[in-house]
Structure formats: C-alpha cells, structure tokens
Chain A
Amino acid sequence: MRDLLLILIPFAGAAAALAWQGERSRPYLLPATSLLHTALALWLLFDPPVVGPGAWFGFDPLARAMLPAVSILFLVCSFYCVPYLRTCISRPNRIFVALLLAMLGLMSAAHEARHLGLLWIATEALTFAAVPIVHFAGTPRAFEATWKYLLIGGTGIALSLLGSFCLGYASLSGGGTGDLTFTALVAQGGSLSGPWVVIAWVFLLAGYGTKMGLAPMHTWKPDVYGEAPGVMGAILAGGVTTVAFTALLRVRAVVDAAGESAMASRTLMAIGLFSMLVAALFLLGTRDFKRMLAYSSVEHMGILVIATALGKVGVWAALFHVWNNSFTKGTLFMSAGNIRRAAGAHTVDEVSGMSAITPRSAAIFVTAMLAVTACPPFGPFFSELLIVRTAFATNHLAGAAIFLGCLLFAFFGMTRLVFAVVDGKPRPAAVQGRKRFAETAGVVLPPLVLLVLSLWLGLATPQVLRDSWTAAAEQIFPGP
C-alpha cells in the first residue's frame, strides 16, 4: 500500500495545484509534496515492503535501488523551482506546477511498474506531461525543441510499444498466456519464442533508448535541454532517463531468462560505446554550455548501458552511477541555469568571466563539471572506475580502451568550454545581468546540496544503498 501511496501523493499534489488559486503561493506545493514523497521513499528504502509476485505495481528491489535517487533529485529541484517561478511570475504557473508533480507521480509509477504495458503507459504519459514545461519559455526556439521532442520521442515510444507487443507475442507463441507482467515473463523464461524475443529486444532497446537519449536516437536531447528551463533539464536528465533505464533493465532480465543474454550484451555494448563516441565528438567542439550538458548526458547514458552489458557487477556499478549521474547532472543544470539567467545567453561567444558575476554558481558549476568528468572524490569517479575495472575483469579490453578515450575527449571539451565561460573578462550584457539576477541562497543552495550529496555518496556510500543495489542486481541477474 505504501508503494502505491508513492504514486498517489504526487497526483494528489497535482490536483491540489490545479485547484490552488494563489499564483505566488502555488509553487510551495512542489517542495511540500515532494518532501512527503521523499520521506516515504526513504522509509521504503530502509524498510522495503514485500511485493506480491503478480502485483502490477510494487516497490521491488529495482525500484528501491533507483526511485529514491529520483525522489531526492526532485525534492531539491522543487526547492529550486520556488525562486525560479517567482522570477518569471509574469507567466501563469498552474500548469507548470501541476504537470511537474504529475511527472513525479508518473516517474514513481514507471519505476514501480512490474507490467510491461503499464510501464509503457507511464513512460508515454511522462513524455507528454513534460511537453508544456519544455516550452514554458514560450519562445519559437522552445516550440521547435518541443516539436522535435514530441515527434522523435513519440516515434521512439511507439517503437517500444511495438516491442512490448512482440514480447507478449513471444510469450503467446511460446505457449504462454501473453501475460505481460515481468514475473510471468521471466518465469516463462526459456519457453519464450526466441526470434520474437530478439525482435522485441531490438524494438524496446531502440524505443527506450530514444527516451534515454542513446545515440543515434539522441538528437532531441540537445534541443530540449538547451531550451527547457534548467530545472526541467535536471529532471529530464536525472529522472526521466532513469525511467527508461529501469525499463531496459527489467526487459533485459526477461531476455536473459529467454537465454538471449549474449545478444543483449552485444547490442548494449555497441550502442553504449557509440553513444559515448558521439557524445565525446560533439563535446569536443561544443560552444553552448546548456547543450553541452545534453551531450554529457548522452555520454553518461552510454556509460550506464555499457555497464549493463558487463553482467551483475556491471549492473551494480550502473545503479551506483544512476545515483551519481542524477545528483551531478542536477547540480550542473541548476548552476548552469543560474549562469544563463545572469548572462542572458548560453554560448561561449556571448558569455565569459562569469566567476566575477555569479561567483558561487560559477564555482559550483566548475566543481560539478569536474565531478561529472570523473574527478575524485565525487561519486562518478567511483562508479566509473568500478565499471572500467569490471570491463577489464570481463576481458572487454577494446571496450574499456574506447571508454577511457571517450572520457578523455569529453573532459577536453567540457573543461575548455566551462573554463572559457567562467574565466576571462565579463561581457557588458552580463554586467547588467547583476541587476537582473541575484545569487540568493534559494538558487545557490539546491545545487550545492546535490554536490555535497554526490561527494558523500562517493566517499562514504551508505550501506543500505549498497545492499539495495546488490538486491537489484540480483533481481536482474538471478543466481551467481
């Protein structure tokens, strides 16, 4: 029941937001609701419920290993939203608040969904719920981004639906009932019809890969992350992508049960490395620090997928990396949002010397950039190092080499851009920005909190999280 509450609370909040009248006070619903949500999520993390085998929704080990990260990220973002929405009070925020909360609910639902169809429904709904927030700015650029997001995302989602049907049909033609709950599918295991499983995997990988933003299905990402509000970028990059990743993990469990494990690893490794390569290439020459974050996100999705291809330890590392990615990406997006609003632009051609205008945000931005490029002692360093180690241990020498090479090039690109933005002489436009944008605690603390969290996660990973990841990895790869 508690796990269903996790889905219901945000929807209740959304309903409240729709009904709420005060424009100024409505944003406070966000932190209020997500506080409840996070509290509940943490309670569930420490004291996981027993999930019935046939249950459609449930806080099973996989959900337990990921959902709290999303919840915490959302909590921090919601605190950031309050001052953000106050600055653009001109635009009505009813839809914004309601849909953001609905997204939280849908993300919880997707993470907890143990039925392929429901998982798909939640993901699709999530996609469409994000639309109005993406073009919250209301500029033509925002509309263009939304359009691409919709059509590419929609197509991808459609493919994943096709994949889900194929999986169901695999069960049917394997003599099963076509029951789409993961437990049933895994239970049917070897008797699933092989060809259909493979076809299903291809469609699902492509479909949910589009949602994750794996190359070459990533093309919507830079546009959306570049145009959407920073906090939205944080939630997309740290929350929505993890939903798609959960889906892939759950499906992978089925595919392995059907005895197609090698095929899955092969495809995952390939698409992961390709994503990292593309991301590294685009990061090398990028000049727009918000689109840079998008490519960095593509890179990290690639890292997750590669880790998933490496077996049990890899999945453990991947789950670790999900947390790190959520927190560091959140920090980056929020601090970048501050800098963008102060500078009034987001390409290095128009922005420089921000350490003089927004010293705190600039410092946080640089630190988070170092963290996300695997500089110790922040979390990503540990997870990525573990992934490299696992890759070597499983004799993926070439894979590991490419992995490290891409990390290096990504580092080159990101450091160059970020230092160019932070150092140097401030532009006159930004100097006026001093008046336009003040670095209040409300906009500086949230990213800082996430940064500290990621530091803490790296140096002293809590045992309960380690256990939860172990349990989740066990759920994906049962047995030794």
Chain B
Amino acid sequence: MGWRLTLRPYVLIVPALLLTCGILYPFGLGLYYTLFDFSASKPQPDMVRFENYETVFTQEAFWNSAWVTVLYAVGAAAVETVLGVAVALLLHRSTIVGRVLEKILILPLMIAPVIAAIIWKLMLQPSVGVINYLLKPFGLGGVQWTDTPTGALLSSIAVDVWVYTPFVAILALAGLRSLPTSPFEAAAVDGAGWWYTFRRLTLPMLWPYVLVAVIFRFMDSLKVFDIIYALTEGGPGDSTVVLQIRAYLEAIRFQRYSFGISYTIVLWAVVYLAAMVLVKHLGKIQRKAAEVAAK
C-alpha cells in the first residue's frame, strides 16, 4: 500500500508534466534543427553540425544585434529601476494625491506592449504626432524621433519604460510597505536626515525587492520583440535590430528556419547566464538586507 502514498504527488503533476513536455518537445526540436540547414527552399535539409552557430558568431550582423540588445536591456532596466523606485517612494508617503494615483498606477502595464508601441508610434510621428506639436512652443518642433539611430533606440526604450515602470514601482512599493518600522523609528529618534535614512536604511532593505524586479525586467528586455517590431521594425538601418528581431527576419521573413533558431538559442544562453549571475547576486543582497533590518 505504501506505493500509493509515494505515488500520489506524481499522479497530481502528471498532467502538468505532460503539458510541459508538450512545450519542451518543440524546444528540443528547435535545438535539433539548428544542426541542419533547414529552410523553405531546402525542406529536406542536410546535417551541418555547428555550422549555423559558426556563421552566427562570425557575422557582423550578430555582434551588432547583440550590442543593440544589450544597450536596450541595460537602458530600459536602468531607467525603469530609478523611475520605479522614485515613484514608489513618492507613493509611499501616501498623501491624498498619492492614494488616488496609486489606483491607476498599474494601467500602462496592462496594455499589450505591441499596442503601446502603436500608441507611441502615432504620438512620435514627426509631422502629425502630438509630441512634436506639444514641444513646438519650446522650439523643439521637428525632432525626428524614430528616424535617427539613437532616436529610434531611445524611443523604443521610452516605450518599454512607459509600459514597465509600474511593474518596478509596484514591487518596490510592496517592499516598502513590508519593511520593519523599528529601524526607522530608531533613526528618527537619532535625528537622522532623510538622505541618510534613505541611503543607510531604506535602500539596503528595499534593494532585494527592487532587484527581483530588475532581474525580471532585464531578462525580459533582452528578448524584446513586440515593441521594436511595431515601432521601428529594426530600423533605421540596423540600429534597433535586436536579437529576436534578427531571428524573426531570418526565420520568418527569409524562411531560413535553422539559422533563425540558432540566433534564439544563443540569446537563450545569454539570458540564462545573466539570470544565474543576477540571482546569485540577489542572494547576497538579501542577506545584507536582513543584517540591516536586524540592527
């Protein structure tokens, strides 16, 4: 009869396990494909071993895409962190204004990134967009937002920031609200200033919460696709061709399946490595925060 007891959890996870295999299977298949030269024009491909990866790493286009991707991810995650924490701190004061605004904080996060990109595309139109209209009085009427390499990258990051800052803010706010009060009371009794309290108490204790958000954001923006697809489609030139866009062009538009997947496999490895490093870091930060809270 004992086997029934040890087997029970397995019975419960079998459906999920099957479904997971259903998702894993194409992953494995994808990995397998990268060893071939499978494309629309070659439906019965030959094994090429690691040639696809060799091509990826020797292509200038890959290194350009990798660089753009990193710029995008670092830029977006950094701005979102600073802005998100700032918004959380401001909301945490819980003034009347803050309490009202907090209810709508989540809105941009609920909008599909691709829709957000469409919205911003319309607003950033140099000729008819509202942003240049509003900037006109300041003498900035004719900015070519998505038309210059730097502008296009910054505009894409702006959309990312618009959508995802609430995510960081929500986590930071949840963190702020769960901090122990005694260290702050002690600091207040000692007459510590706002900045000192923030640097020495709030930030170190809050950092684990924020870091979780940053990890999520950083990893997600490494695989950005929707926003760029709808906003710039990778242009102008190759200035916003991030890795997933490159993979899309290769695999879908040009129908070179194997080669396109090789790109995403490399990206996956990068994201995974980044996650490992960050999670390790998170553990350290959490211990430190616990020490501060205990003092």
- Chains A and B form a bound pair: no
